[in-house]
Amino acid sequence: MLLNKRIHIHCLLLILCLGLSYQAGAQFWKKEKKNKKPGSGTHYTPKPKPEAKKAEKPRRKRELNYPNSIKRDRYQIDILIPLYLDELVKDNKVTVKGKLPEKVQGGLNFYEGIKLAVDTLATMGYKTDIFIHDISSAGSKAEQLIEKDSLKHTDLIIGFVPAQNVAALAKYAQSKKVNFISAFSPSDAGIRENPYFILMNPTLQNNCEAIVKSVVKKRSRESILICKKTNSTNDSAAYTYITDGREIKNLTEIDCNKLPDSAQLAAALESNTTNIVIVPVLDPVYAEKFVNQLHSWFPEYRFDIYGMPTWKNLVSNKKMIEWGEHISINITQPYYFDPTVSSGVAIANKYKSVFGGKPTELSYRGFELVYWMTDLLNKYGAIFNEKTNDDGMAIFTKYELKPRWDNDNNFYYIENKHLYLYHYQAGTVLVEQ
């Protein structure tokens, strides 16, 4: 693993000196001249009615033609992560006392998983050079790396980056004919016609489609209540993704632009059956207030709620225990890491010996992604896109990297289509593969 000297020193200081366990969006119309009617002094000839256009069939999906992948003895992976080292370390001294700032923890946890993966791969004989770029540091921001062509020798770019960096990195990778994997943000940044862009965290639309699929499969004969919240762009989009296809029958809407009152809810709920409620609202604070209302006002009713992937922290905390057996919540997630299996135990033990404490989900994600992608590079070269079904080194998670098309079969990019359904109830969780 190759780190520039500065990052190496900083990370070493963070690990050794702090001794912390880290947590984790005119058309113009011409006015047509009207034909004069009979009796107006001008001969009137009715216009013939235009023939109805035949509905055009969507074009066939084209094949994605990649260049031949040339295998080499060594490969280079460039990984972009915000580590905030300029803020954490001054004059080779750690400036933070106690718990690290929340903005630091995600990227650092992801980095820790990468380091464990690289150490493991080295013992297995893989010849790969890993470069870490702290995109929060002056001179190493994503746009600066692109402008300076600092990634010109790369075979793969992995970005633990926010949505605003995704489009530029994807365009750069396409120009170099190497893959860019967006490992964190679910945003596709409006990218189209880019076969080198791989979105690992599925889009909101993909998550909503998974909810529809689950409801249709399990609840097709039951009445479904859906919250319609349109004063937020993302919530409005989620509502549209769920309802547009009309696949869910017996759907009743309730206005949720503001939290509904007890009378509104009572009129839509039933006391003698489980109420199936879809809440396409991304704000977990709003979600918690809504579920609290159901719990407080209708303690004798049963609820099975379908929420958004952004509810992960909400359903994982003690609130699920407080709400008790009469409320269950389902959310979609793209990852599942079982720390009790042998590989999970091995990573946890290694993590403890190197960093102390326990690995977070982002540590597992960093480990698994680099572990798998390094294997694909070494087997198939930089253009491994048609070989991603070789996922033996994805030791925890099931991935389905597939081309994304619109309804007219226009190609967008490659997306991980697989999602798990997490079912939470009274402090327990079941994961549906």
Nearest to 307 by CA among 421, 222, 191: 421
172 lies in some domain: yes
3-class state of residue 176 by DSSP: helix
pLDDT tens figures, 105-120? 999 999 999 999 999 9
Question: Is residue 216 domain-shared with residue 327, that is, in the same domain?
Answer: yes
**With bands split at pLDDT 50, 70 and 90, how would you rate the model's confidence at 6?**
very low
| Predicted local confidence at residue 55, as pLDDT | 56
Given pLDDT bands bounded at 50, 70 and 90, which one contains residue 42? very low
Q: Are residues 147 and 184 in the same domain?
A: yes
Q: In this structure, is residue 300 part of a structural domain?
A: yes
Query: Within a domain: residue 74?
Result: yes
Residue 293 confidence (pLDDT) above 70:
yes
d(CA 312, CA 408): 34
Phi-psi region of 136 (alpha: psi -120 to 50; beta: other; left: phi over 0): alpha
Q: What's the pLDDT score for residue 216?
A: 93
Q: pLDDT band for 91, please (50, 70, 90 cuts).
A: confident
The answer on 134 and 74 residing in a single domain is yes
* Reported confidence tier of residue 104, pLDDT bands at 50, 70, 90: very high
Q: Which pTM does this prediction carry?
A: 0.85
**Residue range 222-240: mean pLDDT, rounded:** 95
The span from the CA of 338 to the CA of 340, in Å, is: 5
Residue 291 structure tokens: 């579920």
Number of domains in the chain: 2
Same domain, 268 and 372: no
pLDDT at 344 over 70: yes
247 in a structural domain: yes
Residues 230 and 110 in one domain: no
H or E, element range at 245: none
What confidence score (pLDDT) does residue 57 get?
64
Q: How sure is the predictor about 32, in pLDDT bands with cuts at 50, 70 and 90? A: very low
Asked if residue 27 is part of any domain, the answer here is: no
> Does residue 18 surpass a pLDDT of 50?
no
pLDDT of 43 reads 40
Query: What does the pLDDT look like over 346-402, one tens digit per residue?
Result: 999 999 999 999 999 999 999 999 999 999 999 999 999 999 999 999 999 999 999
Whether the predicted pLDDT of 34 surpasses 90: no
- Which residues contact residue 232 at a Cβ distance below 8 angstroms, ignoring those fewer than 6 apart? 281, 282, 283
Cite the DSSP H helix spans in 177-243. Answer: 204-219, 233-243
Res. 425: pLDDT tops 80: yes
Tell me, yes or no, whether 194 and 226 share the same domain: no
Is residue 227 domain-shared with residue 365, that is, in the same domain?
no
Residue 403 has pLDDT above 60, yes or no: yes
Q: Are 397 and 336 in contact (CB under 8 A)?
A: yes
Mean pLDDT to the nearest integer, 246-253: 90
| Owning domain of residue 218 | 204-333+421-432
Q: Is residue 196 part of a domain?
A: yes
CB under 8 Å, gap of 24 or more: what pairs does 398-402 form? Answer: 398/336, 398/433, 399/200, 401/198
Residue 5 included in any domain: no
**Spatial distance between the Cα atoms of 103 and 82, rounded to a whole number of angstroms:** 9
| DSSP string covering 63-97 | P--PPPPPP-S-EEEEEEE---HHHHEETTEE---
% of the chain residues with pLDDT over 90: 76
Identify whether residues 91 and 112 lie together within a single domain. yes
Asked if pLDDT for residue 48 goes beyond 90, the answer is: no
Place of tokens 């925890």: 396
**Mean per-residue pLDDT, 85-109:** 86
Are 56 and 409 a contacting pair, CB within 8 Å? no
Q: Considering the domain boundaries, does residue 267 fall inside one?
A: yes
Q: Do 183 and 246 belong together in one domain?
A: no
pLDDT in tens, 57-68: 667 788 899 999
**Residues 211, 215, 217, CA angle at the centre, nearest 5°?**
115
Output the DSSP codes for 19-59.
Answer: -----------PPPPPPPPTTSSS---PPPPPPPPPPPPPP
Rounding to the nearest 10 degrees, give the CA dihedral for residues 379, 385, 390, 396: 110
Looking up residue 250, the CATH number of its domain turns out to be: 3.40.50.2300
CB 242 within 8 A of CB 208: yes
Specify whether 119 is located in the same domain as 165. yes
Give the pLDDT confidence score for residue 88 in this predicted structure. Answer: 87
Q: Please give the average per-residue pLDDT across 230-242, as a whole number.
A: 96
Indicate whether 154 pLDDT > 90: yes
Claim to verify: residue 77 and residue 116 sit in the same structural domain: yes
Same domain membership, residue 428 and residue 289: yes
Cα separation, 177 vs 160, whole angstroms: 20
Mean pLDDT score across all residues of the chain: 87
